[in-house]
Every structure is written in structure tokens, then in C-alpha cells.
Chain A
């Protein structure tokens, strides 16, 4: 097991480096920069600014400084647009917000999705099952950017129960809609995967043996069926996490939560490459770490994989 984790880490580290390098090369190759404006700066001024940000060093030197800065000091460099803030400040300001509702959404999507899926599988071919299947199928077609405006129409404009945006230090009224909008479609996917894998497990021989022994359904599900049925779900959690991270950009933007996605989109529109790269690399790191955790969890669940 330890060797397996180490080996996965050995893949994760170059992945991360390659991500940083790809992003950096893209930035380097991009035509036009943050200092190209409609009124061209005098060449001397431009040269001074570029020297200040280290943009006139040769490419390998720039890249080396950037990578070393990130790896050794978690330093993503200065913002190109905001003179007094560097990328770290921007991330430190927005990230806690996104992390808060992101974590809540992920936990809720997993818990509710799994429970719904297991229930539907136990009550296979009953009304409950049909409702669950129908609801989850249509919910999959409701991505966060469709859910968000629909929720605002219902809860803010029609019912007037919840504020249509803002964060206000994470008061619950402000968290409800972002969480629902972000988690719905993944909840649905998790429920579908859980249902079909639980159904398959419940039809296998060892469950029949457990029934023949006279165990109660509850014990069968908890002690025998749950672990094997969870394997496809666990392998889906990695991609779901990534998709939710990506989705949080829409949520941040639409609900003006002040989260990191807002900085990302603003920097993209302002061509503030330093912030874009910083946020992309942060998201990439989270993705890679989470996939690593999901793989380890899968290896722990699956009795056939023993490293």
C-alpha cells in the first residue's frame, strides 16, 4: 500500500510540473500582454516595467524563477494589473470562500447521492425507484449555470426567501443557493452510479448467501453490500471533485460571492496573466491531490488490488 501511494506520488509530481510549464509557455507565447494598451507606452517606460516584472529575462530563466518561486515559497509572483497586490493576496482573499461552499457542496452531493442511490436500489422497481431514476436523469441535464438562474428566479424573485448574491461572511442564507446550484447535477450522477452498482451487488451470490443465513436487510447492506457497491462511486468522486472546482467559477461569478472564480474571470478579461496562471495552477494542484486521494481510497476498498 505504501509503495502504491509512493508510486502515485511519483506520477503526481511531474504532472504538476508539466501543468505549471504548459501554463507558463502559453502565457509566454500569447500575443499582447498586460501592458499593451490602446495608448502605447513610451518604449523606455515599457522596458522599465518589463525589467521590474522580470519579463525581459530569457525564457528558461523566467520559467526557472517562476517554478522555484512556487515550489519553494508558494509564491505566484506579482499581479500585472493591481500594483499593490500579488497573486497570493488575491488567492488568500477569495479561496476560503470558494473552499467553504465547495466542501459543503461536495459532502452534500456525496451523502445525499449515495443515500438516494442505495434507497432506490433497495426499493428496486417501486414508485420511489422510478421517481429517483427520473429525477436524477433530468437533474444531470441541469448544470450549475442553469441551476443558478432558476434558483434565483424561484427563491429570490418569486418567494423572496434568499438573497440573490453576496457572501456576508458565510451566513447560511447566502450559502444555500450556491451549494444547491453546485451540487445538484453531481448528486444526480452519484445517485445513478450508486443505484446501478448497488443493484449489481445485491444480485451477486455472496449476498444471496447472506440472505440465506437469515441476516436482516439492514445488516446485509451495511456489512456486506456497501463496500463493493461503493467502488464505482469512489472512482467517480475524483472527476466529480474536479468538475465541482470548475463549476465553482460560475457560482462565484453569478452569486458574486467574492470567491476565487471571480478573480479568475476578471483576470481573464483584463489579461492579468499572473493571476490566471496562479489560479489555474492552484486548481490543478487540488485536482491532482484529490485524484491521488481517490485512487488510494479505491485501492483500499478493492480487495483485488494489493500493492
Chain B
């Protein structure tokens, strides 16, 4: 046939195409793993971190489901037993006070749940504020550079040298001892360290080729920060934010321990520990023990999770 000479390359062409398609299908199967999948794998192999995650989840589920099991609300006073708390106020199933009574006769089970919720919320919101303010501040400072960077970082240098615990206490005492003021106080200080870390990371990203490419393509600086810098900062930010949560809980507990934190009827683990610590003379050890157990479980498991995430997301650092 006349077309014969031409057919051969065509067949070869089809075969080639088919091979490429096959290769592509195979490639689809082995699919590259993202940084996050890799990290998840490393995290789940870290037994301590997984155990800590399970513990933390258990604590969270307990605070969510606990109110349904509780026989008493956190504000009710058990008048029948409040006269003899050391004698009859101990933890017991029969009375419905699983964790016993507190120093004025309220159910410690309900109070502990309430306090754990408060502490967890304070920790998470404090860390979130640090993430939002600190990341934006640090990324802009690092990316813009020049005198803006200098000014922004000198400001942080000065603010970081201020003893923040006292500033939070000043804020809370002078205005009002409410959750709002607590969050304002924590928000004012928690982002400082984060902004430094993020700035350092941004500086090292800034001169990479993909940023230069974006600049060459005429992308505006804010879009570059948002689309290219921030996603690459996520690893560091996540690790640091996880480690910030227990720190924020510690700060709040510290202030509450001094009696300068949130006011009744609100409570937090620090406030309960403080009350429990001041009543051990009367032999009511459960008033210290239960809040302490929840405090330690939360803090230690958060430490382990943070450590595990650091190892998982930044394998070089080990």
C-alpha cells in the first residue's frame, strides 16, 4: 500500500503514547507525598506523642460529656453536707459528688469540668491570637525588610523586655477581671516570640527562586506574602503554636492562683488548685488532687504533642 511507509511511525507513535499513558497511570498510583502526609506518618510512629494525643482527646471528650453525667450543677450548693465537708464531702458515688465538694459545698466534679474547659479555651484562643498577629507581623517585617523591618523588630525587642505577667495583672486589676480582659492581656504579649520566629523563617524564604519568580511575574508584595510565604511558614507556626497552648494555660493558671484571674462563678484550673492548696489543712485533699490531675494531664500531653510535632515537621532539628 501507498500509505505503508507512513504507517510505521504512526504505530510506533501510538505505542509510545500508550506507554506514556501507562507510565502516567503508574505515576498516579505512586503519587508524591506532601510534607504533611510525611509528617503525619512520622507523628503516628512516635508512641509518646500518640499516647499524649489520645490523653488530650480523652480530657476534651470528658469536659464535653461530663456535664451530662454530673448529678449537680457547678453553682448548686449542697446544703445538707456543706457543714461537714471534710467528713462527708469526700468523693463518693452515692452522694453524686464523684469528685467531692469544694470549700463552700459545690460539686467539684462540675467545677473541675468547668475549670478544664476554661483553661483549654484560654490556651487555644491565646495561641490563636499569637498565630494570627505574630505570623502576619513577622512575615511582613521579614519580607518588606529595610527600615520597616528595623522599626518593627526594635518595637518587639522593647515589648519583649517588659515583664508581661505583671502587665496582664495590671490590665485585669485596673479594668475588669473578665474573660475579655484576660484575652486582651494575653493577646498583647503572646505574639511577640512568634513574630520573631516567623520573621527569621521569612528571611530565609525571601530569596528562594519561587519568590523571585513570583516577583518577576509582577505579583504584589502582599499577595506574595499571602500565597507563597505564609503556606511555607505553616510547619514552624503549627509547632510553635502547639507549644504555646500549655504556656498560655500556665499563664492563666498562675494569675488565677494569685486570685487575680477570672472571678466567680467562673473558674479555672489555677483557681481550683489555689483553693485546694489553701484548704489542705482541713484534710480535704481531693480539692487539690482532682484539679491537679486534670492540669497535669493537659499540660504534659500538650508538651508531648508539641514535641512530637516538632520532630515530625522538622526532622533536621533532631
Residues in chain A within 8 A of chain B (CB atoms)? 11-12, 14-15, 18-19, 22-23, 26-27, 29-31, 137-138, 140-143, 145-146, 148-149, 152-153, 157, 242, 245-247, 249-250, 253-254, 264-265, 268-269, 271, 273, 276, 279-280, 283-284, 287-288, 291
Contacts and interface: CB of A to CB of B under 8 A. Distances in A.
Contact of B165 (A137, A145, A246): A246
Given A145-B257, A145-B273, A149-B288, A246 B166 contact: yes
A253 B254 CA distance: 12
Contacts of A279: 166
Contacts of A15: 157-158, 161-162
B277 A284 contact: no
B163 A149 contact: no
B163 A280 contact: yes
Interface string B285-300: 1001000100110011
Contacts of B288: 149, 153
B27 interface: no
B257 A26 contact: no
A247 B288 CA distance: 20
B258 A253 contact: yes
B280 A149 contact: yes
Contacts of B296: 141-142, 146
A26 B259 CA distance: 20
Contacts of B259: 265, 269
**Most chain B CB inside 10 Å of its own CB: which residue of A27, A140, A246:** A246
Interface in B155-199: 157-158, 161-163, 165-167, 169-171, 173-175
Interface string B53-69: 00000000000000000
Contacts of B281: 157
B154 interface: yes
Contacts of A280: 163, 166-167, 170
Contacts of B260: 265, 268-269
Contacts of A142: 296
Interface residues of B, number: 38
B303 interface: yes
B280 A27 contact: no
A15 B288 CA distance: 40
B174 A27 contact: yes
Contact of A146 (B154, B170, B273): B273
Contacts of B170: 23, 26-27, 276, 280
A89 B3 CA distance: 110
Specify the main secondary structure of chain B where it touches its partner. Answer: helix
A145 B254 contact: yes
B175 A30 contact: yes
14 contacts: A23-B167, A140-B303, A141-B300, A145-B253, A146-B296, A149-B273, A246-B165, A268-B260, A269-B259, A269-B260, A276-B173, A280-B170, A283-B166, A284-B162
Contacts of B157: 11, 15
A30 B163 contact: no
Nearest to B301: A141
Interface string B245-258: 01000100110011
Contact of A26 (B174, B253, B274, B277): B174
Contacts of B89: none
Contacts of A22: 162, 167
A153 B280 contact: yes
A276 B174 CA distance: 10
A282 to B, nearest CB: 10
A153 B173 contact: no
A138 B300 contact: yes
Contacts of B280: 149, 152-153, 157
Interface string B220-264: 000000000000000000000000001000100110011110000
A141 B174 contact: no
Contacts of A245: 163
B270 A145 contact: yes
A97 B162 CA distance: 23
B112 to A, nearest CB: 15
B163 A284 contact: yes
A284 B173 CA distance: 18
B288 to A, nearest CB: 6
Interface in B54-99: none
Contact of A11 (B154, B162, B257, B292): B154
A253 B161 CA distance: 25
B276 interface: yes
Contacts of B174: 26-27, 29-31, 271, 273
Contact of B175 (A18, A31, A141, A246): A31
**Most chain A CB inside 10 Å of its own CB: which residue of B174, B277, B285, B288:** B174
Contacts of B167: 22-23, 26, 280
